[in-house]
Amino acid sequence: MNTTSYLNPDERILYTLRELYRSYGYLFYKVSKFEEYDLYLENKDFLDTRQLLTFTDTDGRLMALKPDITLSIAKNSKPDGGMQKVCYTENVYRAPNHGGFREIPQTGLECIGEIDLYAMSEVVMLAVRSLEAISAQSVLDLSHLGVLAGLLADCPRSVTADLLAAIGAKNAHEVAALCSDAGIPQETCRLLQALIRIAGPLQEALPQVQALPLPEASHLALAELAQLSELLALQGVAQRVNLDFSIVSAMEYYNGVFFRGYVDGIPAAVVSGGRYDKLMQKMGRGCGAIGFAVYLAQLERFGRQTPAFDTDALILYDEASDPALIIRTARSWTDMGKTVRVQRQRGDLRCRQLIKIGAKEVSILETND
């Protein structure tokens, strides 16, 4: 019997992802539905505290419904616990700006410890495989924040966030305006604009970036990116990865590779992740970390089709029907991996086969294909 045959498309994807992560040694991890509010207040640059749903517990502590998984896992990680590989399926809770709240299902994984090139390649590969489990028409856009950090090292901190936002929007004009207002050298501005324009398959776009006259720190990050590209080719996923330096995030927490994954038919990112050693250091953990989340809520509008039938077999019975015959007939369908409904009246159910159980006989009233 196919154990996934009864699952709807979303459930089948989730089952596939959990089996994928388990096959690479990621252990299932369960976190609490809430954390102390201070955890998010101390990391408000990592997460917008305006979206928190808070309450006071019976001991008078201010608590928050969990808006993020990574912070909880990082907080509970062992400072010197060796390599920790965990995966999860959880709901997070956020308050949109327009009021109310949202319950957002996620699955994903975190790799915590000494993050070397293999560990990075494994996590990026699993992100690509996660996208493939959703759709063959998918791509992972990847950047390296170290390349941008090298260029932004001498820029005023007051303008860094705005520059990252302009880079994320691929707005070369805004980058030029910000650089001009902040007195940033024209050469730095031109290099930032050049990075925005370079985007495409990783192994094709990387040489274009390597040819730029970047600072030494940026070239060190590019050297790591080149090594990662080679490992991704060995993992068999390099062709699914695009290089795109508009994929950015807060540099106070993230460093190294950062990525987002997309599938045809869904406008927003389905996968998001990266390396966050700086967050681990801020939380007093002397180790690195990399991971990603799959936003399951996005899948609700992807590939959702109304099934042709509500059940494979609809078995009708009445007072004269033989109970043993009802049970044997129902079990014969479930043993074949088929779905079955047993009830007195048909109602408006759609079925492949309509069956009536009598006192001694089984009658097929209707067959639909």
Give CA–CA dist 314/340, Å, rounded: 6
User: Distance (Å, rounded) from C-alpha 281 to C-alpha 206?
Assistant: 30
Residue with tokens 């596939």: 16
Per-residue pLDDT, 144: 96
Q: What is the pLDDT of residue 111?
A: 97
Q: Where in the chain is the domain with CATH 3.40.1630?
A: 311-367
For residue 143, what pLDDT band results from cuts at 50, 70 and 90? very high
| pLDDT-above-90 percentage for the chain | 70
CATH no., domain 9-301: 3.30.930.10
Per-position DSSP letters for 291-354, written without gaps between them: EEEEEGGGGGGSS----S-SEEEEEE--TTS-HHHHHHHHHHHHTTT--EEEES--TT--EEEE
The predicted structure's pLDDT at residue 1: 46
User: Where is 75: in which H helix or E strand?
Assistant: helix 70-76
Structure tokens at 193: 């604009």
Sign (positive/negative) of CA torsion 199, 48, 72, 23? Answer: negative
Q: Report pLDDT for 97.
A: 66
Q: Are strands 199-201 and 138-144 parallel, antiparallel or unpaired?
A: unpaired
Residue type, 145: L
Please state, rounded to an integer, the average pLDDT across all residues of the chain: 91
- pTM beyond 0.85: the answer is no
CATH for 311-367, options being 3.40.1630, 2.60.40, 3.30.160, 3.40.1350: 3.40.1630
> For residue 198, is pLDDT > 60?
yes
Q: What is the mean pLDDT of residues 338-353?
A: 94
**Strands 351-357 and 257-263, how do they pair?**
unpaired
- Write down the pLDDT at residue 81: 63
CB 215 within 8 A of CB 150: yes
Q: CATH 3.30.930.10 in the chain, residues?
A: 9-301
Q: Classify burial at 359, counting beta carbons within 10 Å of its beta carbon; exposed 0-12, middle 13-18, buried 19 or more.
A: exposed
pLDDT reading at 76 higher than 60: yes
How many angstroms separate the CA atoms of 181 and 159, rounded?
9
287-326 pLDDT, tens digit per residue, is 999 999 999 888 766 655 667 899 999 999 999 999 999 9
pLDDT at residue 259, as a whole number: 97
Residue in 340, 346, 311, 338 with CA at minimum distance from that of residue 326: 340
Question: Cβ atoms within 10 A of the Cβ of 55, count?
Answer: 11
